[in-house]
Chain A
Amino acid sequence: MGYDIDYLAIAPEITVAVAAMVVLSLDLVLPRRQKYWTAIAAVLGVGFAAFPLITLAISDSGAASMFNGSYVVDDFALVLKGLFVAAGYLVLLMSVQYIESDRYYQGEYYFLVLMSILGSMVMASSRDLIVLFIGLELVSGPLFLLAGWRKGDARSNEASLKYFLLGVLSAAIMLYGMSLLYGATGEVTFDGIRAASAGMTGEPLFILAVLFVVIGFAFKVSAVPFHFWAPDTYEGAPTPITAYLSVSSKAAGFVGLLIITYRALPEASAVWGPAIWIMAVLSMTVANLTALRQQNIVRLLAYSSVAQAGFMLVPFAVAGVSNDVDALGSAFTATITYLIIYAFMNLGAFAIVIAGARRTRTGDIDGWAGFGRRSPVLGFLAAVFFFSLAGIPPLAGWYAKFVMFSSAIGGGSVWTGLLAAIAAVNAVIAFYYYARVVKTIWMDEAPDAAGVEYEPVAGSLRLALVLAAAVVFIAGFFPDVINFFSETTRLLASG
């Protein structure tokens, strides 16, 4: 504990920050035709961030605590930073071709993405409200801009505006809640809040504070009924950014929620538990039902990601409702496990969408008919990612669902049992629309087989696809790989 800065411990953040600066500088000095170096610099920069992460993970130096315990680099932080770096890496790989083929400038794009990654890394280490807030804004701010990246496209503008307005609204509500929390407990550090909040469950101010904070994060993870921005923004934003939004940004939201609920407000579980229970049920049901009606593949994935968020909220609800220590721990790791697996399979699905996009980029699902026959490898990967999202063994998604169900059943009360049953029915409904995409790709006849042009798949995108698929397969067969990471974070839950 102290104010000393452990530079080794924050080396990953520094690497990413430096990379962002380098990208920005390169963009300044490089002539137009050589802008692609910015992409390479960004990809390399994020890649380099993995080295200090691995070094930190291997060394058993224990947790590093900075700024009087406000910024902690422990196993939890490292695992999630690893996730953010990996997801960011994949998103960058997916972006290269997409951005190059657009008319727009490149440098800022990579800079903004890198800053957002940095923000999510900061969130993982944050142990007080202020750092958490800073991290969150660092994640969101660049994304507001990135969502509107296709500047000439009115849809993209609109996506950006909607995301921005609702994002700021949620930030304001969350901040208001944080201020009340500070007022109620007199603390901003999570450990302090936890210590001070014992016995405060009944106080209206406290309840209000907790609810507002949770709602702020609910927006970030796009839980129903705070999800309205997601489909519009996803549709309008550039596809790689949509992927980033649905994975990293969502993951950042979950990280915040995890820290807040398990670390800072376990005493208030009677408040956030039922609230999240309701959100989980609504998210799963409404999003799944809505997804059934979607014609646009990105919107479909948007609703899918809302529904997946609902599944990820299930363990929270269980933790909130249950008093069992074991259940709490398994709920915590369940969310982490789900998050990791979800990240890769969802990124894979978006990579497929980018790879399979026609020149027109309509994104209409029916336009995918016959895709499997034309490019069997991509079609195969599409089936892999979509069925993984549906949770069909032996693809990784099954294990995510499995741990989610496991924690729900482990709650041991009627409410958690009911939640499990609702989740089970929803898993079946969800299968339908995932299967619909695969069906269109493999089983429908291509109506205009001749006149369709597909963009060639760039090497970077292929790499992204292979990496994501590899994770989906390996984690599906050997879920212990994922467990290895999620289990190390368990400590955070138990304090």
Chain B
Amino acid sequence: MTLAPVLVLAALLFSLGVYGLLARRNAVLVLLAIELMLNAVNINLVAFEAMLQDSLATGQVFAIFVITVAAAEVGIGLAIVLLIFRNRATANVDEFSLMKW
């Protein structure tokens, strides 16, 4: 198995995530886009681990940590979105510009 196609897949997935993050209005969709990016990382980690034949399975371990943390982060994200939705009755990220740079 060659590594390259997997890496390309991961890169594409990551790019898709970035695009989603930048282009989606709805906060929930933005959160999902982030999940895409993190999963791209996971693909990378697992693929590299397979290529390297790491005896400690470091890549997989790393991936599991990433999955866990990603879950926590999405939890936090949803909590924030919920909070905002309560206050402002919208979940569109582009409407939050009270503070200017």
Shortest Cβ gap from B30 to chain A (Å): 7
Shortest Cβ gap from A292 to chain B (Å): 15
A 258-315 contacts with B by CB, 8 A: none
What residues of A have a CB within 8 angstroms of the CB of B38 in the complex?
172, 175
Would you call A148 and B83 a contact (CB within 8 A)?
Answer: yes
What residues of B have a CB within 8 angstroms of the CB of A157 in the complex?
80, 83-84, 87-88, 96
A232 interface residue per 8 A CB criterion: yes
Give A344 to B76 CA distance when docked, in angstroms. Answer: 30
A416 interface residue per 8 A CB criterion: no
Instruction: Choose one: B41, B80, B87; the contact of A154 (CB below 8 Å).
Output: B87
Question: Which of A161-169, A241-249, A335-343, A423-431 is found at the contact surface with chain B?
Answer: A161-169
Would you call B65 and A133 a contact (CB within 8 A)?
Answer: yes
B69 interface residue per 8 A CB criterion: yes
Give A152 to B84 CA distance when docked, in angstroms. Answer: 9
Would you call A176 and B14 a contact (CB within 8 A)?
Answer: yes
Would you call A232 and B99 a contact (CB within 8 A)?
Answer: yes
What residues of A have a CB within 8 angstroms of the CB of B99 in the complex?
155, 158-159, 231-232, 235-236
Instruction: Choose one: B18, B62, B93, B96; the contact of A182 (CB below 8 Å).
Output: B62
Shortest Cβ gap from B57 to chain A (Å): 11
A206-234 Cβ-contact flags toward B at 8 Å (1 or 0): 00000000000000000000001001100
Would you call B45 and A145 a contact (CB within 8 A)?
Answer: no
**Using a CB–CB distance below 8 Å, which chain A residues touch chain B?**
129-130, 133-134, 137, 141, 144-145, 148, 151-152, 154-155, 157-162, 164-165, 168-169, 171-173, 175-176, 178-180, 182-183, 186, 188, 228, 231-232, 235-236
Would you call A164 and B76 a contact (CB within 8 A)?
Answer: yes
Closest residue of B by beta carbon distance from A134:
B65
List 13 contacting pairs A-B, 8 Å CB cutoff, sorted by A.
A133-B65, A154-B98, A158-B96, A169-B34, A172-B14, A178-B41, A179-B48, A182-B45, A182-B48, A183-B47, A186-B48, A231-B99, A236-B99
Give A6 to B69 CA distance when docked, in angstroms. Answer: 26
Would you call A182 and B58 a contact (CB within 8 A)?
Answer: yes
Give A188 to B60 CA distance when docked, in angstroms. Answer: 12
Would you call A168 and B73 a contact (CB within 8 A)?
Answer: yes
Closest residue of B by beta carbon distance from A133:
B65
Would you call A172 and B58 a contact (CB within 8 A)?
Answer: no
**Using a CB–CB distance below 8 Å, which chain B residues touch chain A?**
7, 10, 14, 17-18, 21, 27, 30, 34, 37-38, 40-41, 44-45, 47-49, 51-52, 54, 58-59, 61-62, 65-66, 69, 72-73, 76-77, 79-81, 83-84, 87-88, 93, 96-99, 101
Closest residue of A by beta carbon distance from B34:
A168
Would you call A141 and B37 a contact (CB within 8 A)?
Answer: no
Would you call B44 and A180 a contact (CB within 8 A)?
Answer: yes
What residues of B have a CB within 8 angstroms of the CB of A158 in the complex?
84, 96-99
Instruction: Choose one: B69, B72, B80; the contact of A148 (CB below 8 Å).
Output: B80
Give A261 to B83 CA distance when docked, in angstroms. Answer: 38
Would you call A188 and B96 a contact (CB within 8 A)?
Answer: no
Shortest Cβ gap from A353 to chain B (Å): 17
What residues of B have a CB within 8 angstroms of the CB of A164 in the complex?
76-77, 80
Would you call A172 and B41 a contact (CB within 8 A)?
Answer: yes
What residues of B have a CB within 8 angstroms of the CB of A235 in the complex?
99
What residues of B have a CB within 8 angstroms of the CB of A159 in the complex?
99
What residues of A have a CB within 8 angstroms of the CB of B62 in the complex?
129-130, 133, 178-179, 182, 188
What residues of B have a CB within 8 angstroms of the CB of A236 in the complex?
98-99
The CB with the most chain B CB atoms within 10 A, among A151, A161, A162, is that of A161
Shortest Cβ gap from B82 to chain A (Å): 10
Instruction: Choose one: B37, B79, B81; the contact of A172 (CB below 8 Å).
Output: B37
Shortest Cβ gap from A138 to chain B (Å): 9
What residues of A have a CB within 8 angstroms of the CB of B45 in the complex?
179, 182
Would you call A154 and B88 a contact (CB within 8 A)?
Answer: yes
Would you call A169 and B21 a contact (CB within 8 A)?
Answer: yes
Shortest Cβ gap from A363 to chain B (Å): 12
What residues of B have a CB within 8 angstroms of the CB of A151 in the complex?
83, 87
Would you call B21 and A165 a contact (CB within 8 A)?
Answer: yes
